[in-house]
Amino acid sequence: MSVLVATAAAVQELDADQRGALDACVVAALALSSSEGEATARARLLMECHGRYVRSFGVSDPAPQYPVFVKRLLGGRVADLLPRRPKESALGELQLLDENGVPSSALNRIAVEASEHGHQAPGIGADIRHLHSLLRAVGMLPESAGLTRICGETVQHAVFRALHAAGFEAYTRGREAMVCTPVLSRREVSRNVALTELGAYTAISPTRQFGGLWAACPLCRWTMRATYRLNGTVDLECEDERHSTLGARYRAEPGTDGWTLIPRGELRAVPELRPVEGHVALPYALWLWVTLPGLLEVELRDRLVAMEAEVRLWPFGDAYDLHVTLPGRSRKWRIDVKTWADPYGLAQQLRENPDELGDLCFVVPEHLRTYLPVLRRGVQGTAARVLTETDLLAEVRKG
């Protein structure tokens, strides 16, 4: 089970005090791992986090004092940081920071999905604040609402509804741009009226640039996280756990002719270093909830078209993701692609809405194949089905 799959389920099992402690730990970890802003402001934020952390423990179960709190964040397991340590929790396997203060792949995700104060944190905080501004602009968040947790479905609904207002063609073009080009030049964004009006793209985060440069992950084309090392080099790594595991990791070394990227993983393709000036990127949450799931949708579209299938992407106002037919044949597939990090949560959602499933074919990534029995129980008694991407392609090939 991947870290993010386990984390998503484990966080839901925490009680209110444990979630409060996790929130404080997450923001503190982001402050410790960032060089953004003034040191005094980061130190003040760390003290505020410790105050919230102490309150989550209560009187009968005293929290560690500030120096111990900070020390435990470096390489400590999340479950060990929480009051009434959750037993047999996946959080016992998760670190927010390693011993050197380098963030884990899950840190930003927890900040967005499970933190009440993530907007205060350096780095990801700017992305969260930008996203809240976008939600307010499209009427999905009242002006008086506080900056609280972000729900992925709310964000998707807000963005897609706003793009729909420009018409179906503009919607499809804008959504595909957010999937295929999560970083654009300012000139390119200005040519897309729907994206310009939406205001989805923003300045590249300081945590994903170095020396005025940035590099795109070869797999998702979003900005890779940049971590400075004491020897003067910079480690670049995709924020997506699977992409990093597949090899989207590099070391940037300075030289007389500028920076050189050296692969640290299996991927030998070396991305181009580009100037931060003149470029804008999707904030973390839009990359997480629009770009990443959209990659499989667009890839399936392209592979099905190569098999001479007729494919409509995001048809009928995004009722589902792909409408597939074969020329001269009556069979059709109404496909809804699901790339959730938490298969158990997805199975629960399917069980809760049986009347809405119809004859949809839910397609999950191949790496979630072991969860097919769980997911298929979620659609039991309906006409809906659950397949992996490989299964779907084989089925369409057979006709």
Quote the longest CA-to-CA distance of the chain: 73
In angstroms, rounded to a whole number, what is the distance separating the alpha carbons of residues 66 and 46? 9
Residues 327 and 266 in one domain: no
Residues 13 and 97 in one domain: yes
Cβ 198 vs Cβ 205: under 8 Å: no
Nearest residue to 205 (alpha-carbon basis) of 143, 295, 110, 287: 287
In angstroms, rounded to a whole number, what is the distance separating the alpha carbons of residues 215 and 243? 14
With the CA atoms of 92, 48, 237 and 345 taken in that order, what torsion angle do they form, in degrees rounded to the nearest 10?
50
Residues 327 and 387 in one domain: yes
pLDDT digit string, tens, across residues 46-91: 999 999 999 999 777 888 999 999 999 999 999 899 998 888 777 8
Question: Is 102 within the bounds of a domain?
Answer: yes
Which two structure tokens, joined as six digits, stand for 157? 């609904």
Neighbours of 291 (CB within 10 A): 20
DSSP-derived secondary structure letter, 322:
E
Q: What is the pTM of this model?
A: 0.86
> Tokens 């503190």 map to which residue?
28
> How large is the average pLDDT for residues 337-348?
77
pLDDT of residue 355: 67
> How large is the average pLDDT for residues 138-166?
71
Question: Is 159 within the bounds of a domain?
Answer: no
CA 81 vs CA 22, 57, 64, 110, 176: distances in Å: 8, 10, 9, 15, 41
Cβ 280 vs Cβ 184: under 8 Å: yes
Which two structure tokens, joined as six digits, stand for 330? 């009556």
- Name the pairing type of β-strands 213-215 and 273-275: antiparallel
Question: Is 32 within the bounds of a domain?
Answer: yes
Residues 232 and 332 in one domain: no
Question: Is 151 within the bounds of a domain?
Answer: no
Residues 27 and 113 in one domain: yes
Question: Is 183 within the bounds of a domain?
Answer: no
pLDDT of residue 140: 60
Neighbours of 167 (CB within 10 A): 11
Amino acid type, 271: P
For residue 313, the enclosing domain spans: 307-398
Residues 313 and 365 in one domain: yes
In angstroms, rounded to a whole number, what is the distance separating the alpha carbons of residues 313 and 330? 19
Residues 109 and 7 in one domain: yes
* Mean pLDDT for all residues in the chain: 87
> Tokens 């004491």 map to which residue?
230
Question: Is 142 within the bounds of a domain?
Answer: no
- Name the pairing type of β-strands 310-313 and 322-325: antiparallel
pLDDT digit string, tens, across residues 284-295: 999 999 999 999
pLDDT digit string, tens, across residues 86-106: 887 778 888 899 998 888 888
pLDDT of residue 395: 93
Q: What percent of the chain has pLDDT over 70?
A: 94
Residues 40 and 114 in one domain: yes
Residues 371 and 322 in one domain: yes
CB proximity list for 184: less than 8 A, separation 6 or greater: 177, 201, 279, 280, 281
pLDDT of residue 145: 52
Question: SS3 of 325, please?
Answer: strand
Nearest residue to 286 (alpha-carbon basis) of 215, 195, 368, 212: 195
Residue 220 C-alpha from the chain's centroid: 11
pLDDT of residue 1: 40
Confidence of residue 3 (pLDDT cuts 50, 70, 90): very low
Question: Is 246 within the bounds of a domain?
Answer: yes
Q: How many domains does the chain have?
A: 3
- Angle, in degrees to the nearest 10, between helices 152-164 and 124-137: 50
Residues 254 and 320 in one domain: no
Neighbours of 191 (CB within 10 A): 10
pLDDT digit string, tens, across residues 250-267: 999 998 889 999 999 888
Question: Is 143 within the bounds of a domain?
Answer: no
CB proximity list for 14: less than 8 A, separation 6 or greater: 22, 82, 86
Residues 243 and 340 in one domain: no
Which among 98, 122, 146 is the end of a domain? 122
With the CA atoms of 162, 167, 170 and 172 taken in that order, what torsion angle do they form, in degrees rounded to the nearest 10?
80
Residues 312 and 254 in one domain: no
Which among 104, 122, 140 is the end of a domain? 122
Which among 242, 270, 298 is the end of a domain? 270
